[in-house]
Amino acid sequence: MAPNLSAAETVPTEPTVPTSMDLLRLAAVGSVDDGKSTLIGRLLHDTKQLFDDQLVAVEEASARRGSHAVDLSFVTDGLRAEREQGITIDVAYRYAATPTRKLVIADCPGHVQYTRNMATGASNADVALVVVDAQRGLRDQTRRHTCIAALLGVRHLVVAANKMDLVDWDPRAYHRVVEDMTSLAERLGVEAVSVVPVSALHGDNVAAPSGKAPWYDGPTVLDALESVPLRTTTATREQPARLPVQWVLRRPGGGRAYAGMVSGGVLAPGDPVVVLPGGRRASITSVTVADRVLTEAPAGLSVAVELDTDLDVSRGDLLAGPVGAPRVVETLEATVCWFAEGPLRAGTPYRVKHTTRVVPARVVAVTGRLDVRSLAVERGSQLEENDIGTVTVALSSPIVVDDYRQNRVTGSFVLIDPTTNATVAAGMIGPLHLGPTGTTRQRG
Amino acid sequence: MTDTLDRPANRLADRVAEPLPGWRRAAGADHLDLLEAHAIFVMREVAAECRAPVLLFSGGKDSAVLLHLAEKAFRPGRFPFPVLHVDTGHNFPEVVAFRDRRLEELGERLIVASVQDAIDRGRVPDPGRWGSRNRLQSVALLDAIGEHRFDACIGGARRDEDKARAKERVLSFRDDQGRWDPKRQRPELWQLYSGQLLPGEHLRAFPLSDWTELDVWQYVAREAIDLPPIYFAHSREVVERDGMLLAISPWVQPQPGEHVSERTVRFRTVGDATCTGAVASEAATLQQIIAETAASRISERGATRADDRFSESAMEDRKREGYF
């Protein structure tokens, strides 16, 4: 069966096999029915990342459900319940590659009750692809998702003003999305916004430029994604270096190496480090990945380091470099996304997992609740499911932290219900701060 | 196979000998470095948080990569877990030889959970000489988990393999019956993997979640990882059945009307010999396989696995029963 898609021409790409690529993590977010899954399906299809047998399966599934056109949302809606209900329940991860980048795409659910799954998909993202129905403009859920993505530290938005075919490619519909998104992004402190008029259904401006919007000369969605700068390739020695210790490796001769993922800055032999929370000092004598000796290790690599001094270092400790000392705290002021069905109230005991340490904790106060429509923080004493708010958490033993805005690893934690082990909240250390940090700009 | 390698030059390993000029720019690691780092991180977290983990090894390329990553995570120490092979009894002999050789080299403990045992003990019905034992693996696996009281199984499944797997967390929980409930997955924020369990529960950990088939092959080439020879083009007697090329073996014999032919083939996946198809291919080196993988128009499982063809939710259904 030949795929019969009303496709714009696919991008002409030779089957080249780059040996070395960047890795871009992207979260597709937005309200239900605005076309996220269809856009991801289209992006995969037009970059030739869908296999013929997968396309045939999608066509058959579409036909079985009485759809005349091929429904590309079936590409990512992989669970039976999702296909039956025509909604996305949980994040689907899909993979695409451009000549220079491997894309890890988290297709996030749009329903408010699955916000925890959306946050799961967005927590590691470099960029959010926000899908907006150009007929209807921004909805509450678009604002909520964009807000959560911004709180989670996503600094770049690529916005697909979708379903342009249904407004006859009227530039006014596009400009309305541009205005609303730009002003939202400014208030959220998101640095770069690129709004692209698209039809995910027909493939216009997704991977290939479209002739249907002569008034638009900006990038396609794919071009915009290719130009997003990556945080993983920008680690420098000027940034505070962090290594949460995961595991202690014993050398045959009796020495020890401390294994973990570099989580900020760059570590190199000769660097002085302080072991926290204890505060003892030492210098790094070697940085290795198995039997490879590295001259330096940037954030994102899993390494083992040896020190020149024999210290008591174990899992849960943090090695910090000479620049920018972290804080040792027993109380956290943090912003949380609350995921559990019941409310979060002050006084409840939880466990905090922060880097590689798990400590008993108690939420001592709920200090505020964010209104995602007005972006104002109201006074409040409890949070309901999917609310975002500010809390004070008392810890039973000290942990070593940075503000989330300085470091996504040492600034984040989850709250775990000690009776069910459920992960009930995502926490970001530091004040709830929404607002301009730089220049928001509209490209294209 | 290592003599056939064209190793890519731009990788971390080649940048370590001397300080690079302008090393601030060189701070970037490429996609394979980052995938490797994440996988090592996941293995160490599981080893640290779980009481009795085990590494699942099928003899295929993904589990060969897992063993390699475990070496990177834990050497010069021993692995903090044994290695478990769920043996359908319908194996390619090259794969069993490979398994035994690798475990011997590593000096790590191998546990074999046998589907034949499960059949002999009456735990599962015998599907007959020609039947696939793919689905019976779930029972043998769950029995081994119960017997050894494992609480975490580290597996080589990838999200690009199947649309149900595309939905699964890196740490994926199983209830006391071994079942996956896709509607009740734990939130998994950042890299804060929580391996805490209630009695009877266990988890599956998938360090290769974000790897694609192509990433695996590129990594195999870069790291010179040893694989069973059946992954490389070779001449073999096959029969064409349901659009797949099945290797003639004691468990796959031509049926009336089927024609046996000698073809040049290789395998893209390794599983139960009764449901794992070969693909016609001349790709005999890693670089040829990488080029072929990049140009392929059929998915890895679609090309080779009869077990995934039953329905559009075949994988989801099996995972709900406790499958890998």
**What domains appear along chain B, each with residue ranges and CATH number?**
2-214+314-320 (3.40.50.620), 227-308 (no CATH)
- The answer to the question of residue A434 being in a domain is no
Interchain contact B161–A (C-beta under 8 A): no
Q: How far apart are CA A359 and CA A397, in angstroms?
A: 7
Instruction: List, edge to edge, every strand of the sheet that includes B202-205.
Output: B110-114, B83-87, B53-56, B152-154, B202-205, B171-174
**For position B122, what pLDDT does the model report?**
75
Q: Based on the fold, state whether residues A53 and A202 are members of the same structural domain.
A: yes
Decide: residue B234, CB within 10 A, 0-12 exposed, 13-18 middle, 19+ buried: middle
pLDDT score of A95 more than 60: yes
Interchain proximity A295–B290, CB inside 8 Å: no
Q: Based on the fold, state whether residues A40 and A189 are members of the same structural domain.
A: yes
Q: Based on the fold, state whether residues A63 and A190 are members of the same structural domain.
A: yes
Q: Based on the fold, state whether residues A144 and A271 are members of the same structural domain.
A: no
Residues of A in contact with B212 (CB under 8 A): 95, 102
Look at A340-349, A369-378, B11-20, B99-108 and tell me which has the smallest mean pLDDT: B11-20
pLDDT score of B10 more than 90: no
Q: B208 is written with which tokens? A: 């290769």
Q: Could you tell me whether strands A127-133 and A156-162 are parallel, antiparallel, or unpaired per DSSP bridges? A: parallel
- The answer to the question of residue A365 being in a domain is yes
**For position B296, what pLDDT does the model report?**
78
Instruction: Give φ, ψ of B137 to 5 degrees.
Output: -60, -35
Confidence class of residue A10 from pLDDT cuts 50, 70 and 90? very low
Q: Based on the fold, state whether residues A296 and A341 are members of the same structural domain.
A: no
Q: Based on the fold, state whether residues A216 and A298 are members of the same structural domain.
A: no
Final residue of a domain: which of A226, A260, A282?
A226
- The answer to the question of residue A440 being in a domain is no
pLDDT score of B97 more than 90: yes
Q: Could you tell me whether strands B83-87 and A357-371 are parallel, antiparallel, or unpaired per DSSP bridges? A: unpaired
Final residue of a domain: which of A320, A345, A371?
A320
Q: How far apart are CA A4 and CA A295, in angstroms?
A: 53
Confidence class of residue B164 from pLDDT cuts 50, 70 and 90? confident
Q: What single string gives the DSSP state of each residue in A243-297?
A: EE--EEEEPTTS-EEEEEE--SSEE-TT-EEEEETTTEEEEEEEEEETTEEES-E
Interchain proximity A247–B37, CB inside 8 Å: no
**For position B16, what pLDDT does the model report?**
31
Residue B242 C-alpha, separation from nearest chain A C-alpha, in angstroms: 14
Q: Based on the fold, state whether residues A188 and A313 are members of the same structural domain.
A: no
Q: What is the number of CB-based contacts under 8 A between chain A and chain B?
A: 223
**For position A76, what pLDDT does the model report?**
65
- Cis check: omega of the bond before B76, within 30 degrees of 0: yes
- The answer to the question of residue A441 being in a domain is no
Q: Based on the fold, state whether residues A87 and A131 are members of the same structural domain.
A: yes
Query: Which chain B residue is nearest to residue A290, measuring alpha carbons?
Result: B72
The SS3 assignment for B173 reads strand
Q: What ipTM does the predicted assembly reach?
A: 0.88
Q: Based on the fold, state whether residues A296 and A419 are members of the same structural domain.
A: no
Interchain proximity A289–B12, CB inside 8 Å: yes
Residue A424 C-alpha, separation from nearest chain B C-alpha, in angstroms: 8
Contacts of A164 (CB under 8 A, 6+ apart): A134, A170, A173, A174, A197, A198, A199, A204, A212, A213
Q: What is the mean predicted confidence (pLDDT) over A417-440?
A: 78
pLDDT score of A61 more than 80: no
The CATH number of the domain holding residue A85 is 3.40.50.300
CA A137 to chain centre: 23
Interchain proximity A339–B190, CB inside 8 Å: no
Confidence class of residue B311 from pLDDT cuts 50, 70 and 90? low
Q: Based on the fold, state whether residues A58 and A142 are members of the same structural domain.
A: yes
> For chain B, what percent of residues have pLDDT higher than 90?
40
Interchain proximity B16–A293, CB inside 8 Å: yes
Identify any residues that bridge with A415 across adjacent strands, giving them in sequence order.
A352, A425
Q: What single string gives the DSSP state of each residue in A224-239?
A: HHHT---STT---TTS
Helix axes B213-223, B286-295, angle to 10 degrees: 170
Residue A216 C-alpha, separation from nearest chain B C-alpha, in angstroms: 33
- The answer to the question of residue A378 being in a domain is yes
Q: How far apart are CA B228 and CA B64, in angstroms?
A: 9
Q: How far apart are CA A272 and CA A281, in angstroms?
A: 7
Contacts of A382 (CB under 8 A, 6+ apart): A343, A344, A345, A346, A366
> Taking a C-beta distance cutoff of 8 angstroms, is the pair A425, A413 a contact?
no
Q: Based on the fold, state whether residues A46 and A136 are members of the same structural domain.
A: yes
* Residue range(s) defining the domain that contains residue A380: 327-429
Q: What single string gives the DSSP state of each residue in A148-207?
A: HHHHTT--EEEEEEE-GGGGTT-HHHHHHHHHHHHHHHHHHT--EEEEEE-BTTTTBTTT
Phi-psi region for residue A228, left (φ > 0), alpha (ψ -120 to 50) or beta? beta
Identify any residues that bridge with B239 across adjacent strands, giving them in sequence order.
B246, B260
The CATH number of the domain holding residue A361 is 2.40.30.10
User: What's the mean pLDDT when you consider all of chain A?
Assistant: 85
Q: How far apart are CA B271 and CA B300, in angstroms?
A: 12
- Give the residue among A138, A131, A67 at the shortest CA–CA distance from A105: A131
Q: What is the mean predicted confidence (pLDDT) over A422-440?
A: 74
Which of B18, B197, B298 shows the shortest C-beta gap to A52? B298
| B 130-159 near A (Cβ less than 8 A) | 159
- Give the residue among A155, A156, A157, A197 at the shortest CA–CA distance from A176: A197
Final residue of a domain: which of A293, A320, A347?
A320
| A 351-370 near B (Cβ less than 8 A) | 351, 353-354, 356, 358
| B 57-86 near A (Cβ less than 8 A) | 71-77
Q: How far apart are CA B218 and CA B202, in angstroms?
A: 32
**For position A235, what pLDDT does the model report?**
74
The SS3 assignment for A118 reads helix
Query: Which chain B residue is nearest to residue A315, measuring alpha carbons?
Result: B48
Interchain proximity B41–A124, CB inside 8 Å: no
- The answer to the question of residue A58 being in a domain is yes
| B 104-123 near A (Cβ less than 8 A) | none
- The answer to the question of residue A217 being in a domain is yes
Q: What is the mean predicted confidence (pLDDT) over A253-262?
A: 92
- The answer to the question of residue A234 being in a domain is no
Interface test with B, best of A301, A339, A350, A415 (most B CBs within 10 A): A301
Domain count, chain A: 3
pLDDT digits (tens, 9 = 90+) for A165-181: 999 999 999 999 999 99
**Torsion angle of the four alpha carbons A338, A343, A347, A351, in this order, in degrees rounded to the nearest 10:** -40
The amino acid present at B112, given as its one-letter code, is: V
Residues of A in contact with B295 (CB under 8 A): 15
Q: What b/e sequence results for A404-434 when a residue is b if at least 16 CB atoms lie within 10 Å of its CB, and e otherwise? A: bbbbbbbbbbbbbbeeebbbbbbbbbbebeb
Which of B41, B215, B298 shows the shortest C-beta gap to A261? B41
**Torsion angle of the four alpha carbons A45, A47, A48, A53, in this order, in degrees rounded to the nearest 10:** -30
Q: Based on the fold, state whether residues A272 and A136 are members of the same structural domain.
A: no
